[in-house]
Structure 1
Amino acid sequence: MKNGNIITVFGSSKPQPGEAAYKTAYELGRALASAGYTVCNGGYGGTMEAGARGAKDAGGRTIGVTCGIFGRSGPNAFLDKIIETDSLYPRLTKLIELGDGYIVLPGGSGTLVELSLVWEMVAKKLMCPKPIVLMGDFWKPVIDISAIERPKTVELIQYAHSVEDAVKRLS
């Protein structure tokens, strides 16, 4: 066990079982749990469900941080602990606060906000340095644009091209 270390995984709520993004998130959850990490995410469907399902299938622990304003049908069934927040900012803050490291999967504007906030907090030293690992090159154009203004902050980001590589980069 990794002393209870929690890895927060950010990603899209869109992927469905059978899709490549869902499978990647599932395998990531399995690998994190097998390495002794607790998987934390937003607690709903898509990559959040897949990662939690993978972690549970590997005998791991999971945390979902949900948000009442979304009006969704409820959290996924693969969560050991559910932390309900009443709005978006407390949800983001809790997801970041709980994480001892972060893995960011491809996603939309919500995932971009999560990546941006954790990256900015580490860059501005508003929190201790923690690993930020991006799966694949999906976010590379965003990172490259940011590097024009603040090239040193790019050093805070790591890229992984496999689930195994992502887990390895956390230590």
Structure 2
Amino acid sequence: MAETVVSVFGTSRARPGQPAYEFAVQVGRALAEAGFTLANGGYRGTMEASAKGAAQAGGAVVGVTCSLFKKGVANEYVTREMKTNSLDERLSTLVKLGGAFVVLPGGTGTLLELAMVWELKNKGFFETGKPIVLAGDFWRPLVDLMARDDPACVKAVAFAETPQDVAGLIREGLGV
């Protein structure tokens, strides 16, 4: 099977021991155990956590970093760093790399990432289905709000409660 990259988006604010961080570790592990390569922003928070989980399972991690973050150093679990020069380029790279997407809880940066992949999928701009899995229920109020204007748009995303569900929905969406 050719390498399939799953781009994972989430908060940079989560720290070890916090539920969001530990959940992201489990998501990264489940994705690597399912045979996926993980890509994310390469820094701290759930980026580090998901990379840690993937690394613990022997998986590869692509960290897409940005030179605008002067003090930013890729986390220790990144096996391949891709340096970009702008936030636009960073997001574009993560979208291009991703054969599927996992969205963990996060702030405005994660919201931007979710909005980008969701709209690209809604408009049919992906060459394949490229599943978008929302981990947990953090994004449910947003999805419900969007459904009020466009009920069909919710078909572009799926919710997963557990890390194993995340990996399972990705596999199902990709037909692997």
TM-score (norm 1): 0.96
Aligned residues with identical type, % of pairs = 45
Question: What does 1:40-79 align with in structure 2 at a 5 Å threshold?
Answer: 40-79=39-78
Indicate the residue corresponding to 1:120 in structure 2: 119
1:148, CA displacement in angstroms?
1.6
CA distance in 1, matches of 2:26, 2:97: 21
Question: What is aligned with 2:145?
Answer: 145
Range with greater deviation from structure 2 (9-18 or 63-72): 63-72
| Counterparts of 1:124 and 1:132, CA distance in 2 | 14
- Deviation of the 1:137 alpha carbon: 1.0
Distance 1:94 1:74 in 2: 18
Give the drift of 1:73. Answer: 3.2
SS at structure 2 position matched to 1:134 = strand
Describe how 1:1-171 pairs up with structure 2 within 5 A. 2-128=1-127, 129-171=129-171
Q: Which amino acid aligns with 1:28?
A: V
Structure 1 residue 136 displacement after superposition = 1.1
Q: Deviations over 1:95-116 (max 9, x none)?
A: 0110110110000000000000
- State the alpha-carbon separation in 2 of the partners of residues 82 and 42 from structure 1: 10
User: Aligned AA for 2:30?
Assistant: A
Measure the CA separation in 2 of the matches of 1:72 and 1:118.
28
Residues 128-164 of structure 1, C-alpha deviation per residue, up to 9 Å, x if partnerless?
3210000111001111111122111111110000001
Q: Against the structure 1 CA distance between its residues 88 and 73, is the aligned structure 2 distance closer, same or farther, given a 3 Å change threshold?
A: closer
Q: CA RMSD in A?
A: 1.0
User: Deviation of residue 70 (structure 1)?
Assistant: 2.1
Distance 1:21 1:57 in 2: 18
C-alpha separation in 2, matches of 1:61 and 1:73: 20
Give secondary structure in 1 for the equivalent of 2:165: helix
Residue segments in structure 2 that go unaligned for 5+ positions in a row: 172-176
2:11, 2:71 → 1: CA distance?
A: 15
Q: Which moved more, 1:123-132 or 1:43-52?
A: 123-132
Residue identity opposite 1:162 in structure 2: T
In structure 2, distance between residues paired with 1:38 and 1:113? 22
Q: What is the TM-score of this pair, normalised by structure 2?
A: 0.94
The residue type equivalent to 2:27 in the other structure is: L
Equivalent-residue separation in structure 2 for 1:101 and 1:30 (angstroms): 16
Distance 2:72 2:98 in 1: 25
* CA shift digits 1:27-48 (9 cap, x unpaired): 1111111111001100000000
- Deviation readout 1:58-110 (Å, 9 max, x if unpaired): 11100000111122331101111111111111111100110110110000000
The count of corresponding residues between Structure 1 and Structure 2 is 170
